Structure 1
Amino acid sequence: MRRNEGGKMIKKKLFIPALLSSILVLTGCSSEKKESSLPFPGAGTPKNNEVDDETTEAIREFAKKFDETINQSNKLLGTFNKALDGLYTNDNSTSQFAQIMKKNINESRELVATVEGYEAVVIVAPYKQSLVSYLNQQHQLFLDAVDMANQESVNKDELRRMYLEVKTSQAEVESAFLTGE
């Protein structure tokens, strides 16, 4: 809660879309401290849905980590996609593909562990869990790919289908977080 110039308390009523918009604008455009609303259901106390400054900052920090995680995920998926394209075009051998996937697996494992270690306030905990589930699905794609490559029986069409499923899951996780669903 903040006091306005007249000394009256201003209650922060929250709605999910406003929070995410505010966070994205504040983290993307300015480092100035601005008053924003945090629109997550269950935020603050059950009686008046107020959010304190500490919770606001925790949500902003999670939004920043969420964005960084999606960016790292996209880099890993980009590497996967390029390597798979190389199999289709014969620019990569199966063993080269396997080496690329092994590196992706190591980086993916670290990314999953990092996200699992994020401290998340109750308000964003469901979004953290969705993010972890998505990252595990992505990690499984890399494991399946290296397994196929090690057995020299890479099913490129199946890997492409799985890749598209992972990208769809990513879009759903991002959308849920941005809309507060």
Structure 2
Amino acid sequence: IITSFANIANDVEAQCSNIKRFAQVGEVGLVLYYVGILMPKVDERLVQLADELGFVIILMPENDASLAYANVISDVMQAIFLDQMNNPVFAVEMLSEIAKMPAYQHNLATVLKMIAERLHASCALLDGNRQLIQSATWPRNRHVYWQKLPSSGVYRQAVRADQPLGE
């Protein structure tokens, strides 16, 4: 997550509430911009909460308005691309990453989100009656109508980590 907490710059309780929610849905950290410009300072309560949750806060240099979100986005995307090229052992990596997470993140939602992010594809787990158990979309803001999958037979799509997928 990249943020400056611009809308809640002076509301430490709201900042803490956001951190709790981010951690609950499986996020592991955030990059915090514009401290000293939009947000006066990082309150110690925010740091303590992040520490308790194992939630990483990367603080960009304070009082520097020249920094842009795009810089971090491009650097992170490049690192992800290089990691995927150099480490194609998907299942082993997933297990390793899940093992590092706090226990409250050991759930289907987190696993499916990680799979969707890695494969750049929305994915879902359905039961034998084709009822949705859990899903994750890619990109995250996309909505998928899982009930509109073909009703006859089983829909299958072979996926590989090195293959970009469409619909």
Q: Higher helix share goes to which structure?
A: 1
Q: Higher strand share goes to which structure?
A: 2
TM-score using structure 2 length:
0.31
Structure ID, larger Rg: 1
* Larger RCO, structure (CA 8 Å, separation 6 or more): 1
TM-score using structure 1 length:
0.29
